Amino acid sequence: MELKAPPFKLGDLASWAGARLHGDADLAIHAAAPLDAANQPCSISFLANSRFEKNLKNTGASAVVLAEAALEACPVAALVTQNPYATWAKIAGLFVSRRTIAPGIHPSAVVDPSAHIGPGCRVGPLVYIGPRTRLGTNVLVEASVVINEDVSVGDQCTIGPGAVLHYAVVIGRRVRIHAGAVIGANGFGLAFDADHWLNVPQLGSVRIGDDCEIGANTTVDRGALGDTVLGCDVRLDNLIQIGHNVRIGDHTAMAGCVGVAGSARIGQYVQVGGASGIGGHIQIADHVVINSMSQVTHSIHKAGTYSAGLPLSEHAAWLRNAARFRHLDELVDRVKSLQRRVGALERGDDPVKHAPDAEK
């Protein structure tokens, strides 16, 4: 079933999204709305987190996407599904205004004669496209984009305003690159020689798989020798730094301000919370979740959820705890000493013999 434009019948939405209908199948849905919005007749909303169930009773929406456990408390029509948030994402997409993009090349764009621009492409104002670069079909290149030489861009990609794709970068199909992103700049390769730095040539490139999304002002550095590689359906938020020779597996997502140092290997279905840092030359297994503001300094070989760092606290308490951290080694030694002495007492030995020299 294909749904083209609102209004939609609620029964059609249920069939299209694979949800179970609870209510009037002919109910017309004109818009998507917040759960707690008042005076929103003919709208649909969602409940994916039990913390917001309090808003369900008085919702102004005409229908709600929710899980079976919340159905009894729902006063309006519902679409029941095992994963309300994913179902909502599909339905909400039906209400996004679709831009009508006429194909063509703006007169102010500079396109090298050796470049290939596929059918249905739109090249916006002040764009530069370099020698031997190839754009697939139906690619949208927005204003002031720079695409250097020997770049390959797959079908149905969107490249946002001011983005830069450096030489020999390879972009898959249906990739969305947001404004100001930089793909394929030199990685941070330096060698110290006597009294000054030398730049290590960055001879690799960047390869990005199908269905990826690169956030605004995110950078993905080119490899030093091999390539920096993003698999398929990788989602990078805004302001992320991906270092040279990093490899990221399929379906991995990273929130804003994450930094990944060079040559890290990140598995599939990994989730990285915002402002986390991942050290260089480490490996992260598939299905790992790293909570926000974590510092990953060693490899993670087992799937699971990991956290690091101290939560926010009153400054005086934070200072006390920070001071105590400086004495962790000393405290560990004292605990081990006590354990030895307790063990000696339990065996009937002289505990003084098992104390460290400092305590004798």
Q: How many CB atoms lie within 10 A of CB 299?
A: 13
Question: How does strand 63-66 pair with strand 77-80?
Answer: parallel
In angstroms, the Cα distances linking 274 to 17, 108, 208, 247, 295 are 30, 39, 22, 19, 11
Nearest to 181 by CA among 225, 124, 219: 219
CA atoms within 13 A on the CB side of 318: 7
β-pair partners for 183 = 165, 220
Question: 209 and 172 in contact (C-beta within 8 Å)?
Answer: yes
Question: 210 and 232 in contact (C-beta within 8 Å)?
Answer: yes
Nearest to 177 by CA among 154, 159, 189, 165: 159
Establish whether 244 is a catalytic residue.
yes
β-pair partners for 68 = none
Torsion (CA) 270, 83, 216, 256 in degrees, nearest 10 = -50
Q: Which two tokens stand for residue 98?
A: 């679709």
Helices (H), the chain: 10-17, 84-92, 315-325, 328-347
Which residue among the candidates 22, 178, 244, 251 is catalytic per the annotation?
244
Spell out the residues 6+ positions from residue 47 whose beta carbon is closer than 8 angstroms to its own. 35, 53, 55, 56, 64, 65, 66, 67, 70, 74, 84
In angstroms, the Cα distances linking 50 to 45, 177, 307, 310 are 14, 34, 23, 27
Catalytic positions are: 244
